[in-house]
Amino acid sequence: MKKMKMTNYMPIFVLAVVMLWAKTYISQKTQFTLEVEGGLQEFLVLINPLGSALLLLSLSLFFKGMRKYWALLSIYLGMSILLYANIVYYRFFSDFITLPTLFQTQNFGDLGGSVLTLIQPLDILFFADVLLLGALVLSKRMEKDMRAIKKRMALPLIAAALLISLFNLSLAESDRPDLLTRGFDRTYIVKYLGMYNYALYDTVESVKASSQRVMADSDDNTEVLNYTKSNYASPNEAYFGAAEGMNVIYLHLESFQTFLIDYELDGEEVTPFLNSMVEDPNTMYFDNFFHQTAQGKTSDAEFMLENSLFGLPKGSAFITKGQNTYQSAPAILKDKGYTSAVFHGNNGTFWNRSEIYKSFGYDHFFDIESYPNTTEADMAEYGLMDKPFFEQSAPLLESLPEPFYTKFITVAHHFPYKMDQQLATIEKGTTGDASVDNYFQTARYADEAIKQFFEQLEASGLADNTMIVMYGDHYGISDNHNEAMAEVLSEDITPVENAKLQRVPLFIHVPGMDGGVNDTYGGQIDLLPTVLHLLGVETQKYVHFGTDLLSEEHEELVMFRNGDYVSPEAYSIGEAFYDPDTGLPLEEGQLEEAEMLKQRGRYELQLSDGVVNGDLLRFYTPVGFTPVNPSDYYYQEPRNTEN
């Protein structure tokens, strides 16, 4: 049989460009929620993969002989892997991979099971085109053209690719001005510029953020200090010092959302103990408290409650800013005589905790190595199950000198919400969506574990002198599951309802304090000044972007990392503004004030990012504050805390 003659490299090159263009367009339309509206945006989603596909694959034209075929296949494979990785990542996080997330390698070993649940059998089709291209390159029946591609052919192709990309950018800017300078929301970048141009944009922005520390100096603090001091909210006299001298325990409620509180599944309460805490006379429950996390998820929540600084828009500050100077809660309270500790039944390296906790000034970090009695049956996918975790933590907690400031990080109620059915005390949901259906069983287990912990505190005698703060860290069910959530809540998930699903529980229990349900709008950025004021610690001299939730001066504006916000008067979602009560778009006369709030909130995000990326707190030490020296702390072995 005669070999097929290919006298020109270009047919296989054109096939590769067309296949990659088509695959990317279909993926962007079907795998991501880009909220495409109107003919122009539809055209942009269609055209934006073409320029980058043509440009990057054109790099193969500069190779000679067989190497240009291998270069074409390698570039094609790399772009396909990038696309597919974002598809899998998006299925849970409803977000796109950023450069900093790729450096969170210490977390990878614990993510295996979660990733596997996100991979679907039909995903093999994403690589069918790669196999076809590989077969053409490897085929011995196809005679290869070993001639070098002439520049007069290669350069016009590259010029055409650049022109397509510039045309794409100009149309995008006409529809959304300042797209690249106001890139709070990665969804907009992908929608307008495409997946591959987004990856380039993200790389440039990440490098710029990393360079900020080198360029920063003490003068950069002036604007930050002026802003935070002018937005300081003085404490409410009725609550200031209500917990003075008490121990502090944070209970980190993994993946808890507010809709669980008082929710009944087939007539049965999912979280009976937490429901009872809403009615507890010494507990204040905040029913309009929102998570403000981004890609750092749990670590973002911790970062905000310890520092009242926003997490980063990309990646995790725990990973990339672990060596920064901080004025965190453990360090602030150390000057008040507090001992500090974190309890977590997972590896200490997860989210770089074993390093950044030193920068926060935590005296002790009890990770999985501090729980030697753990059996395989006690382990969840992300560490020690909550009930044995609390049980084994009891002697460690009781050995700490008082007063203490502590945090317990639970893991049982974590995606993909699987558990041993012998431990389940409530049935699964019946939506047909596994994540949503499983969610109720692990939530019930976590609720039972929290009740157990409260009973342990009573038995130890610590309960009467301890403030307990329970907070949800981030959503558990992403908006990719809104169809199932509509069935759970018996209502359509509109943009406003989706925003309300970002509410997470906040309980503040203080013995002797008058409790009740508090409707104040707030977020995780507000926790630190709230807790410090309850302890009788004034916060005006610190750089805090949140304000005391109990203060009469607290402004009820909750900023999200993508630049959206919620308040009692307006919800800013994407480019639209909604009435939170009716769910309808705001009327014309209300838009100016709503837009002003958005701009002010985004300015606050920029200032906070400047503090974190520039490590600006190294240039500012409040009067009376003792700076943290991370080298004073060592967590590698379980510690005996009796002395």
User: Which residues does the annotation mark as catalytic?
Assistant: 298
Question: Within 10 A of 483 (CB to CB), how many other CB atoms are there?
Answer: 12
Q: Give bridge partners of residue 507 from the DSSP assignment.
A: 285, 470
254 is in an annotated binding site: yes
344 assigned to a ligand binding site: no
CA 258 – CA 249 distance, rounded (Å): 20
| SS3 assignment for 563-591 | CCEECCCCEEECCEEECCCCCCECCHHHH
Decide if 246 contacts 402 (C-beta within 8 A).
no
Alpha helices in 461-524 (DSSP H): 482-489, 495-500
3-class DSSP assignment, residue 627: coil
With beta carbons less than 8 A apart as the criterion, state whether 411 and 467 touch.
no
Containing H/E element for 68? helix 67-93
Residue 355: partners with Cβ closer than 8 Å, 6 or more residues away: 322, 323, 630
Residue 481 annotated as lining a ligand binding site: no
Whole-number Å distance between alpha carbons of 263 and 300: 27
Pairing between β-strand 247-253 and β-strand 404-409 as defined by DSSP bridges: parallel
641 is in an annotated binding site: no
For residue 403, is the peptide bond before it cis, meaning its omega torsion is within 30 degrees of 0? yes
Q: Is 609 annotated as a binding residue?
A: no
DSSP-assigned beta bridge partners for residue 466: 247
| Nearest CA-CA partner of 538 in 332, 361, 397 | 332
Q: 502, 464 in Cβ contact below 8 A?
A: no
Which secondary-structure segment (H or E) carries 44? helix 38-57
Query: What is the C-alpha to C-alpha distance for residues 579 and 494, in angstroms, rounded to an integer?
Result: 12
Task: Mark the binding-site residues for substrate, compressed into ranges.
Answer: 414
Task: Mark the binding-site residues for Mn(2+), compressed into ranges.
Answer: 254, 298, 473-474
